Structure 1
Amino acid sequence: MKLLTIIEKIKRFSNQDLALYLLIISSFLPFYLFLTLFVLYIILLAFTGKLKQVFKDLTQHPFLLAFIGFSFIVSMVAGNYIGAVISVGFVMYAIFFKYYQRRLTPDFFHIVLQTVLLLSIFAAGFAFLEHYEIVHKFNYTFLSPKMQVWHQNRAEVTFFNPNYYGIICCFCIMIGFYLLSITKSWFWKFIGAVAIGINLFGLSFTQNRTAFPAIICGAIIYLFTTIRSSKAFWLSIAAFGIGLMFLFSSDIGVRMGSFGSSMDERVSIWNAGMVLFKQNPWFGEGPLTYL
């Protein structure tokens, strides 16, 4: 019944809100499809005249516009055309979030969060199938030969990289905590708890070493700042214990055991970044210089 209520609310969305809602949930599609829809959405907003007020709002953020302009100019001067495209992407994201703020209502916000949690459960299921090689990973080599699969046993779902999917899991876990703390519906409390647990499994399938310490700290801070009672203490202890269990489980533990050798790879990346920084320490060469 609760799901039917959401569907009824979605049916009552205006065309603008429905388009915005569909774009947000399309972020669970393969990333190239989402980016295509995102660009088309911004173009549609421009052609329908919906961006006039958004541009006025953006002029109230001169430092943001100056940073984006600086990023674009430096990238072009350095011949870093990928960086220039990324800078244009900054503008598009700024436009999107300003427009999103103008359309946002409490009801719309909660429906988006509830839908994202439900989709994250299906994503974690796909991560399980990926990790145990029951299904093949998405192949992006048709976009570029460099975009081959590098992480055979690490789940990435539709987000191209295990670390990116790990970030999505972290977001969904915190959304689950938020839903648990604000909703009075036992149905959505249950969904929130299930989503937290399942996204912890999804996170473990990414074998992301740094995500678990981050989500442990984030959960503890969130619980203490929102619940403010002895319940927060015990929930924090539970979050800490569950996080440690996943951190040193068989899957994660293998990568934790190779942490030292992996650090050598990280240090080489940092050294390469420092070399690039020394080449132009004052202005840089724009986003994604290392590519």
Structure 2
Amino acid sequence: MWLIFGIDYLKEHFTHNQRYIIVAILSMFLPFYMCATVLIFLTIRLLLKGEIQDAYRKTAKSQYILYFCGLSFVVSLFYQNYYGAGCSLGILAILSFVLYYRQHITGELFEFIMNCIIVLSVFAALYGLIEYIGILNKFDIDQLEIIIFNRPQDRINSVFFNANYYAMMIEFFVCITFYKILKIKDIKVNYKKFCYYLAVIAINLFMLLLTACRTAWPALAAGVLVILIIDKQYKACLAIMAGVILACVYFVFNPSKFPRVDNIIAYFGTRQGIWDVAIANIKTHPLFGEGPMTYWHIYKAYNGHPTEHAHSIYLDPLLCFGIIGILTILPFIIENIKRLYRLWKTQIDKTLVALIISFTVMIFVHGMLDYTIFFVQTGFLYLLIASSFDIYKESL
């Protein structure tokens, strides 16, 4: 991105501390293991400089992050869940960097970050399109055709490990672009910018189709409707809602056109089997769980379907962290909800509030059938957006 804006531009507009944040944002568009490496490296560097400690001192209830991650690490080791122990340290690094982000985020930096993400989403789409052409060539198809494949290895993921993670990132990209549209004060004057944002949305929606992720569409629809309702864009909300209803009617009368309809029964059957295993283990370890990645750690004992997590945001946290683990982090979560509520009450930036709530709604809608938020890039991006109310820390 500095190739586009220039090093001098970054030095002129942002502090040294803020440039750390920009590097972290850019890392999200690298393969996940590189992104994780960059985030851990930045966090350790900031820890050695005393910046992370300062962020903890200045952030209310942040000590509960240490309690939560420490408990998760110990529980993981107790059950010999070494992947979970590693994840616990990774969660600590990401949450610590997010606290640092909260200390240095400003309105100018936030808008710059949003612009970077929108531009880079197009590059991710181009990479995904090249990947899709390679998939077509594998099937000896030498022209561009829209084919929705069933097998995970035949669905595009761009740089986001698998198709479902990319789909959630696209949900976020689209809502960020909607946020930027709502920030345009006069569309007639800024029609070029408006058309650019519409083009970005169209590109990302096309790529969402190629991911063949069905769960992403209702989640995205819910997120967009929420952001429009909270921002009081009722006419646009009604128009999009009408489009959603028409799409639903179309698929009711043309079920064969629904993406991957031929495996939908098997899909739900597999999910049911995963949830049964998760529930069974929750019953035996209700208080502390067995640490992150518990499902991957225990599925063989139950002859369950092999996968990394419980494919449910409503089950996996309880499976991994237990009741006490969740209660340990709850004071920190409640404190953040209070700050978001105060921002909403002040009416300083209702569009930002709308963006944060829309992200959260999408996570819980998508999370009914999947747990795509528990990943480096998706989780980090959500935490950054959800913590951005500290742009107005002086007012709050």
TM bucket normalised to smaller = 0.7 to 0.9
What amino acid does structure 1 have at the position aligned with 2:120?
L
Distance 2:74 2:66 in 1: 12
SS of match in other structure, 2:286: coil
Q: Is 1:290 paired with 2:295?
A: yes
Distance 1:58 1:120 in 2: 31
Q: Is 1:114 paired with 2:115?
A: yes
SS of match in other structure, 1:132: helix
Distance 2:179 2:252 in 1: 23
Q: Is 1:75 paired with 2:76?
A: yes
SS of match in other structure, 1:35: helix
Note if contact 1:209-1:247 (Cα within 8 Å) is conserved in structure 2.
no
TM-score by length of 1: 0.83
User: Which residue in 2 is equivalent to 1:203?
Assistant: 208
User: Which residue in 1 is equivalent to 2:10?
Assistant: 10
Deviation string 1:63-102 (CA, Å, 9 cap, x unpaired) is 4333222212211111111111111122111211111011
Question: What is the root-mean-square deviation in Å for CA atoms of aligned residues?
Answer: 3.1
Deviation string 1:217-251 (CA, Å, 9 cap, x unpaired) is 21112112214443432244346657988999999
Q: CA deviation at 1:5?
A: 7.3
Note if contact 1:75-1:286 (Cα within 8 Å) is conserved in structure 2.
yes
User: Which residue in 1 is equivalent to 2:276?
Assistant: 271
% identical equivalent positions: 30
Q: CA deviation at 1:172?
A: 0.4
Note if contact 1:121-1:195 (Cα within 8 Å) is conserved in structure 2.
yes
Structure 1 window deviating more from structure 2 (18-27 vs 57-66): it is 57-66
Would the alpha carbon gap of residues 233 and 14 (structure 1) be closer, same or farther in structure 2, given more than 3 Å must change? same
Distance 1:195 1:10 in 2: 24
User: Which residue in 1 is equivalent to 2:65?
Assistant: 64
Q: CA deviation at 1:11?
A: 4.4
Moved over 6 A (4+): 3-8, 242-252
Q: CA deviation at 1:193?
A: 1.2
Distance 2:254 2:124 in 1: 21
Structure 2 residues without counterparts, runs of 5 or longer: 139-150, 297-396
Deviation string 1:116-169 (CA, Å, 9 cap, x unpaired) is 0111112112222222326999xxxxxxxxxxxx72221111111111111100
Distance 2:64 2:155 in 1: 39
Would the alpha carbon gap of residues 246 and 122 (structure 1) be closer, same or farther in structure 2, given more than 3 Å must change? farther
Note if contact 1:123-1:157 (Cα within 8 Å) is conserved in structure 2.
yes
Note if contact 1:169-1:203 (Cα within 8 Å) is conserved in structure 2.
yes
TM-score by length of 2: 0.63
Would the alpha carbon gap of residues 91 and 119 (structure 1) be closer, same or farther in structure 2, given more than 3 Å must change? same
Would the alpha carbon gap of residues 39 and 63 (structure 1) be closer, same or farther in structure 2, given more than 3 Å must change? closer
Would the alpha carbon gap of residues 187 and 53 (structure 1) be closer, same or farther in structure 2, given more than 3 Å must change? farther
Would the alpha carbon gap of residues 6 and 115 (structure 1) be closer, same or farther in structure 2, given more than 3 Å must change? farther
Note if contact 1:127-1:155 (Cα within 8 Å) is conserved in structure 2.
yes
User: Which residue in 2 is equivalent to 1:173?
Assistant: 174
Q: CA deviation at 1:254?
A: 4.0
What amino acid does structure 2 have at the position aligned with 1:163?
N
Structure 1 window deviating more from structure 2 (83-92 vs 207-216): it is 83-92
Deviation string 1:244-287 (CA, Å, 9 cap, x unpaired) is 88999999834134211111111121122223223323321111
Deviation string 1:175-194 (CA, Å, 9 cap, x unpaired) is 01100001344343222211
User: Which residue in 1 is equivalent to 2:91?
Assistant: 90
Would the alpha carbon gap of residues 248 and 109 (structure 1) be closer, same or farther in structure 2, given more than 3 Å must change? farther
Distance 2:128 2:256 in 1: 13
Aligned ranges for residues 1-291 of structure 1 at < 5 Å?
Answer: 9-12=9-12, 13-57=14-58, 60-133=61-134, 151-184=152-185, 185-238=190-243, 253-291=258-296
Distance 2:122 2:251 in 1: 18
Note if contact 1:212-1:243 (Cα within 8 Å) is conserved in structure 2.
no
Deviation string 1:200-223 (CA, Å, 9 cap, x unpaired) is 111111111111011112111211
Note if contact 1:207-1:255 (Cα within 8 Å) is conserved in structure 2.
yes
Would the alpha carbon gap of residues 22 and 136 (structure 1) be closer, same or farther in structure 2, given more than 3 Å must change? farther
Paired residues in the alignment total 277
Note if contact 1:80-1:285 (Cα within 8 Å) is conserved in structure 2.
yes
What amino acid does structure 1 have at the position aligned with 2:217?
F
Higher relative contact order (CA 8 A, sep 6+): 2
Distance 1:168 1:194 in 2: 17
Note if contact 1:130-1:153 (Cα within 8 Å) is conserved in structure 2.
no
Note if contact 1:213-1:243 (Cα within 8 Å) is conserved in structure 2.
no
Deviation string 1:5-50 (CA, Å, 9 cap, x unpaired) is 7987434223322232022112101111111111111111122232
Note if contact 1:248-1:256 (Cα within 8 Å) is conserved in structure 2.
no
Structure 1 residues without counterparts, runs of 5 or longer: 138-149
Note if contact 2:164-2:213 (Cα within 8 Å) is conserved in structure 1.
yes
SS of match in other structure, 2:295: coil
